[in-house]
Structure 1
Amino acid sequence: MNLFLQLFVEYLQIEKNYSKYTIEYYQDDIQEFYLFLTQQSINKLDDVEYLDARLFLTSLHERNLSRATIARKISSLRSFYRFLNRDRKTSENPFALVSQPKSEKRLPKFFYEEELESLLNVCEGDEPLQVRNRAIFELLYATGIRVSECERLTLTDIDFSLSTILVKGKGNKERYVPFGGYAHDALELYIKQSRNILLKDQEHSTVFVNFRGAPITSRGIRHILTELINKASLNGKIHPHMLRHTFATHLLNNGADLRTVQELLGHSNLSSTQVYTHVTKEHLRKTYLNHHPRA
């Protein structure tokens, strides 16, 4: 079974060109299913039947996992078996008829302008790490790039003359994204003043580095943003991805068209971007109710 998983991972890497993060999710989901099979004394993937798949789905619900997580796991296993069927490693796909839970329609959360000001205020400081943190924050808000895309950014990806960055997104798709004056100044200050101090004796082209001088990881960037959010004492459940949501919401609120926002975010489908129109409509509705005398 481990050999089949390895072949599937190679298929995702070479044929599907999936990112390492997506592949890690697939691996985790399949290995979790392997553990379930061991508990059920099932030794071969071809021995798994529809009822076994249903039982696995029930076990996921009993753990009170979110609908999105359960849907992802079922989708991972359906794709895994589809691959095995294609290569004649198994004869049936027990997950083909397993229904996925409908995803929860939750609007993406974003920062209001006063909340952004609070976050920017706690970014102040002249220490190398403070200058770096400011640059990360300004760039994420200015471009809407994912944390994983920020992690992969190299010095040659930045064009200061045009104020654009070359972003390597999901599936290694590339796109150019502009950034404004605040991000330009913060990024330039970091690269010229703080990056060399943080690098110490190391040499590499990754833009953002940790306190040891090594390329920063996505987990490191999330930790920095979480610390800034905590320091700003903002209320509610907040996560770093909200900067991306904020970028899109503020653009649409200020008149940007949906296709442009789609391209800037790197969404393959317009439907992924359309969720932000619901956010802006809700914002308009609340503004209307709060300010119109006859609302």
Structure 2
Amino acid sequence: MEKYISQFIHYLSVEKGLSNNTLESYDRDIKLYCSYLKDQHLDIKNTTRTHIISFLMDQQKKGKATSTISRNLVSIRSFYQFLTKERILEKDPSLHLESPKIDKKLPKVLSVQEVELLLHAPSLDDTLGLRDKAMLELLYATGIRVSELVSLNLGDVNLGMGFIKCFGKGSKERIIPLGKVSIRMMAYYLERSRPHLKKKVEVDALFLNHHGKRLTRQGFWKIIKKYAKSTGIKKEITPHTLRHSFATHLLENGADLRAVQEMLGHADISTTQIYTHITKTRLKEVYARSHPRA
């Protein structure tokens, strides 16, 4: 079974061009499913639709979230499709299995005032503060994912033209414009901060840690948590919060949904549409607070 899983992950990587995080997720899901089959003394070649449903029900009994179970099924389906395509299996038992319906949770967003508080939290008097300010401004200016932020190289930024180039899910390239504040802070970082962080070895990474190496997602998580705590903002702030706030604030100010979809790198516009629900909810809250007959 390990051989099939390894071949499947290689196929997803080479032919589908999926990111490392997505590949790890597929690998984890399939190994979990195969472990369940082993406990039931089943070979994957003898599995049926009933066995897949039993596995999903077992995950539900263990308290797994609907979103996790739905992702499990997506991984299992893809695995069976691969096994059928490679003629390891004659039939795909996962055909026509419906994913459990997931209630879409509205992402947490910050108000414009709260974003201002967060963006002004880093000190501009030290090397790391300048770097952090540049990163936060860039995130809010572009709405890129944190994984995309830490993957940026020096050559991906064009301050003269005012844009960045980043590679999203499936290695899809997109160009995103920068605002004046972000351009200014990036220039300050590149001139006054990055040369001090860079050690003797030349690195392409745009954002460096205090060791002179590429900043990691975990490193950025700690940074944003530190500033969130220092501002006293009561809402939970995650690395994705500025992305959500970027999209919501654009739509609130009349941006075109398709343009926001392109900037966020969403393959499906329905993913972007969730932000329109946020703006409607906020409008209702404002109306309820402000209208004399609300």
| SS of 2:175 mapped into structure 1 | strand
Q: Count residues with an aligned counterpart.
A: 294
2-structure distance, mates of 1:254, 1:196: 38
Unaligned runs of 5+ residues in structure 1 are none
TM-score by length of 1: 0.95
Whole-Å Cα distance in 1 between the matches of residues 94 and 251 of structure 2?
A: 39
In structure 2, C-alpha distance between the alignment counterparts of 1:71 and 1:198, rounded to whole Å? 43
Distance 1:124 1:191 in 2: 16
SS at match of 1:65: coil
Counterpart code for 2:273: Q
The separation in 2 between residues aligned to 1:97 and 1:254, in whole angstroms, is: 42
Measure the CA separation in 2 of the matches of 1:216 and 1:122: 19
Distance in 2 (alpha carbons) for counterparts of 1:93 and 1:224: 46
Partner of residue 27, structure 1? 27
Q: Distance in 2 between matches of 1:70 and 1:126?
A: 48
Does residue 197 of structure 1 match 2:202? no
Q: Share of identical aligned residues, percent?
A: 39
Q: TM-score, normalised by structure 2?
A: 0.95
Cα deviation for residue 146 of structure 1 reads 0.5
Measure, in 2, the Cα distance between the counterparts of 1:210 and 1:41: 49
The answer to whether residue 267 in structure 2 is matched with residue 268 in structure 1 is: yes
Structure 2: how far apart are the matches of 1:281 and 1:294?
A: 19
Using the alignment, how far apart are the partners of 1:13 and 1:199 within structure 2?
Answer: 32
Quote how far apart the aligned CAs of 1:173 are.
0.9
Query: Who is 2:85 aligned against?
Result: 86
Q: Which structure 2 residue ranges, 5 or more long, are not aligned?
A: none
- Determine if contact 1:144/1:243 at 8 Å carries over to the other structure: yes
Distance, in Å, in 1 between the alignment partners of 2:177 and 2:62 is 43
Deviations 1:179-200 (A, max 9, x none): 1121112111111111121122
**2:165 & 2:117 partners in 1: Cα distance?**
29
State the Cα deviation string for residues 44-69 of structure 1 (Å, max 9, x = none).
Answer: 32122222212211121122222111
Amino acid at match of 1:59: D
| Deviation string, structure 1 residues 19-55 (Cα, Å, up to 9, x no partner) | 111111101111111222222223x321222222122
- C-alpha separation in 2, matches of 1:143 and 1:188: 16
Deviation above 6 Å: which 4+ runs of structure 1? none
- 1:97 offset after TM fit, Å? 4.3
Amino acid in structure 1 at the alignment position of 2:148 = E
Which residue in 2 is equivalent to 1:173? 172
CA RMSD for the aligned pairs?
1.5
CA distance in 2, matches of 1:111, 1:39: 46
